[in-house]
A and B are shown apart, each in its own frame.
Chain A
Amino acid sequence: MARPPLRPSPGRPEPAQGLLRRLDGIARAALPPVTTAILLVLAAAPLGLPALVPAVVLPAVFFWSVFRPVSMTPPAVFALGLLQDLLTYAPIGIGILTLLVVHGLAFRWRRGLAAWSFLAVWLVFCAFAAGAAGLGWLLYAVLSLQLPPPMPALHLALLSAGLYPTLAFLMTRAHQAMQRAELDS
């Protein structure tokens, strides 16, 4: 960046150097998965709505996979899925697999999606939510060798599609703030 090395522009703090800058970078990279995990834990027990957990984690994984794939890596998605499965008392592995599929597809199509308007992305996410709920239902059916009731999957799809705008608004704010910070440093 072309900037006089001795006199930074007034009113703007000097970017951190060395270790601090590294810490800053690590914190920024860890923010999406960590906030998602915190959201997951908060949604799990005190509110008494275990159905909320997968509906909260799905928009977060989708959003960060599209807009900040550097932070939402497959291991992070795996860890979030494991946390979700442990918190929701579902058979372990179903949440991991669905989230990984969502992450993979969103990651593949991120260049197209990132350029679209919010409404279009939301519509795509609705399709993703339906697909994820269907996949979860199918995996459960295969794993337990019987047809589970379809209503919970439908609720999950509707709930996550409905939660997406609120969560996306907050996450967009965080994303923009992080972008500004990256441009500054």
Chain B
Amino acid sequence: MIRLSIPLRQALARLTLPLMVAAAFGTLLLGKADTMLAERARTALADALAPVYSALAEPLRAIEETVAEARNLVNIRSENARLREENEHLRRWHAAALALEAENTLLRRQTNFVPDAAPSFNTARVVADGGGTYARAVLLATNPAQPVRKGQVALDERGLVGRVTEVGARSARVLLATDMNSRVPITLEGSRVRAMMVGTNGARPRIAHWPEGVMPQEGERVVTSAEASAFPAGLPVGVVRFSASGTPEVELFAQLDRLDMVRLFDFGLRGILPPESVARPEPRPGRR
């Protein structure tokens, strides 16, 4: 260490603080003038501290887990009470469901009700969006062993997607319900009113041609109707929403913007089929 005389050392000691303040102002201006410098310094510091933090991460996680565990134990009582209450509630619903089921079987026996045949379906993967003649259509990769027929109804796990319009050997095109050319006969479930759902190329198709005197209600459920025997009755489509300008629209249940798999149902309906644009003969009924 360099030996300094006491007055000199005192003078230096008195001088360090103003010097450091000046240096602080210098850093302030430097950091303001060159933001990249601060970023680089931060990155270097983070690099240097990364091993320390990674060494600390394990005990910290243990502490956090212990704390979370303790909190869970504290909450378990109220959780238990809530679950008991919910269980009671569900039991009541269960009883109600059983009663309704029994009543249903009873009524069916009295009315000679013929139940719908369970429709057959196969599943296909969506491989491409758009293309073809239509603005809103998807291309499916289909299995040649399971022939797809024109007019089959495509649903995803939530609701109606569209109808098969073109069929190739290994692919099929589905016209989505949002396309401008799509017209789907619908029933408003609350009022049992028939109407048409007209695609607009937008996310929500419009509702058109509902009878006079009845107005679609906001939030009303929309299902398909068997009118024109293109769709079976009662497939879930969406709910009624009013646009900003006051036109009734349908918010679809199906997530048309992120389709990955669709189910193609064959209800055996041959009401209105899309016009022929791909040269592929309809499979003979005998072979199916």
Given contacts A78-B23, A81-B24, A91-B32, contact A104 B49 (CB under 8 A): no
Q: Is A60's beta carbon under 8 Å from chain B?
A: no
Q: Is the CB of B52 within 8 A of A92?
A: no
With A87-B45, A97-B21 as contacts: A74 and B27 at CB distance below 8 Å: no
Residue of A nearest to B55 (CB): A46
Question: Do B20 and A94 touch (CB < 8 A)?
Answer: no
Check A78–B42 contact: CB distance below 8 A: no
Contact partners of B38 in chain A: CB under 8 A? 86, 91-92
* Residue pair A86, B45 in contact (C-beta under 8 Å): yes
B-side interface mostly: helix
Interface band, chain A: 20 to 34
Known pairs A74-B17, A87-B45, A91-B32; A46 contacts B27 (CB<8 A): no
- Chain B residue, CB-CB nearest to A89: B42
A-facing residues in B1-56 (Cβ within 8 Å): 16-17, 19-21, 23-25, 27-32, 38, 41-42, 45, 49, 52-53, 56
Residues A93 and B31 in contact, CB atoms below 8 Å apart: yes
Given contacts A41-B52, A74-B20, A143-B32, contact A93 B25 (CB under 8 A): yes
Chain B 166-188 against A: per-residue CB contact (8 Å), 1 yes, 0 no? 00000000000000000000000
| Distance between B42 CB and nearest chain A CB, rounded to angstroms | 5
Question: In the complex the two chains form, is A100's CB within 8 Å of B24's CB?
Answer: yes
Does chain B have a CB within 8 A of A132? Answer: no
User: CB of A141 within 8 A of chain B?
Assistant: no
Task: Using CB atoms and an 8 Å cutoff, list the residues of chain B in contact with chain A.
Answer: 16-17, 19-21, 23-25, 27-32, 38, 41-42, 45, 49, 52-53, 56-57, 60
